[in-house]
Amino acid sequence: MINYSFISAAGNSPSSMISDLVSLWIDDYCKGVSNHEILEVNIGHCSYLFDNTADRVIVAWGISYGKSSEARDKSRMAGHPLGNGKNYHRGHTIPHTMGGGTDINLVPQLGKVNVGPFRVLEKKAVATPNSLYFTYWKYPNKSTQTPSGVDQGFAAPGGRLEVSSFLN
């Protein structure tokens, strides 16, 4: 796991932490992947770092606007490739209830994590407008699109950065 301890939300707006976090994520990702083309993609109020060479999302982050009332595009999600077996879901990097969509926002995620402990910080972010929420996806090698782990983070305005890590 990345050492997030020097990043503090206390006295800072959650959005002011993003540039430090982006630097951490890129440095960490590049340690394990020498051939990459990292792009920043912004969709609505969500942002993503995407490795165009490996065709995979590295990190997603957004500032919460509270609970989204948009309907889930189930037909679009059904078309998202999975192929990782019955233990995996099409997990959202940014929760749908916070405005996360499909396509770039979906990763193969272990079901027991997706519908279990992963929900704690997702729910906090959705319930806390102006909070920062992120997921940083880790990969075991340069050729897979299935993450081996994820750091999940949340920071309320004026609060501390909370980070949980999960194996995938």
Q: What single letter denotes the amino acid at residue 103?
A: D
CA distance 113 to 160: 23
Average pLDDT over residues 49-55: 96
Across the strands, what pairs with 110? Answer: 88
pTM here is 0.90
Architecture of domain 14-167: 3-Layer(aba) Sandwich (3.40)
Contact partners, residue 168, CB within 8 Å, separation at least 6: 108, 109, 110, 113, 137, 146, 147, 148, 149, 150
Q: What is the pLDDT of residue 151?
A: 98
Q: In the chain, what are the domain boundaries? A: 14-167
pLDDT digits (tens, 9 = 90+) for 109-155: 999 999 999 999 999 999 999 999 999 999 999 889 899 999 999 99
